[in-house]
Amino acid sequence: MKDLIIHIITVFMGFFAIMNPIANTPIFLGLTGDEDRATTKLIAFRAVTIAFVLISIFAISGKLIFELFGITLYALRITGGILVFFIGFNMLQGSNTHKSEKSVLNSAAQQNASLGIAVSPLAMPILAGPGTIATAMNFAAAGGLMQVIVTIISFAILCTITYFLFISGERMVKALGPSILSVISKMMGLILAVIGMQMLIEGIHQAITILSH
């Protein structure tokens, strides 16, 4: 039971760090700045729902995708670990990991952002980007049905938190201020870099163990 609780916390924190809903809230506010309250809520709900469906599909069909393309778990862990590490490293350096999204942000705000932005760029790639997908597949493929269920439930909880952060984001951003948001983003970057390194170490260790036999 203790191991299960630790695993649930690890999965949730991994998703929280890589999706970083706190840092993404200002982006959401920029994309929906010209919309009324009802439309903003609908965009937020649609975005997190689409992201949840995408991640659930990859979590459930991860092993099937492995078999179909001949992918090994240690290859995913090594690749995913490198990807997640560099995302976290960029966040620690204060780099903008959402430059392409911000360029979309400006044009979308000028054109009175519609519900279409819930699909792109919000759901994909801001919420369910390559790093999130790789993390979901890594967690879900690490064991049996229980790991898949834990992965999906953890991401569902995070999507719920993200939704409420998005719809109440204006007050949160004003309350925290840019300096606090920057500190939070760097803390998430550190957690993310450590998770990525752990994935990389586990992948290399598994590869050495399997290939040496």
**Mean pLDDT for the stretch of residues 51-56:** 95
Predicted pLDDT at 194:
83
Measure Cα distances from 118 to 8, 122, 152 in Å.
Answer: 28, 5, 20
What is the rounded CA–CA span in Å between residue 173 and residue 196? Answer: 28
What is the rounded CA–CA span in Å between residue 81 and residue 183? Answer: 23
Predicted pLDDT at 5:
84
Tell me: the pLDDT tens digits for 86-118? 877 887 887 544 444 444 444 444 334 457 888
Who has greater pLDDT, 36 or 13?
13
Q: Which two tokens stand for residue 126?
A: 């801001």
Tell me: the pLDDT tens digits for 176-195? 777 877 787 787 778 778 87
Confidence of residue 16 (pLDDT cuts 50, 70, 90): very high
Predicted pLDDT at 114:
55
What is the rounded CA–CA span in Å between residue 14 and residue 202? Answer: 15
Measure Cα distances from 12 to 27, 150, 155, 159 in Å.
Answer: 22, 9, 7, 11
Confidence of residue 48 (pLDDT cuts 50, 70, 90): very high
Q: Which of 93, 97, 108, 104 is nearest to 33 (CA)?
A: 108
Predicted pLDDT at 56:
94
Q: Which of 11, 3, 8, 5 is nearest to 195 (CA)?
A: 11
Is the pLDDT at 11 greater than 80, yes or no?
Answer: yes
Is the pLDDT at 14 greater than 50, yes or no?
Answer: yes
pTM of the model: 0.70
Give the number of other CB atoms < 10 A from CB of residue 116. 11
Tell me: the pLDDT tens digits for 130-176? 778 888 888 887 667 888 899 999 999 999 999 999 999 877 777 77
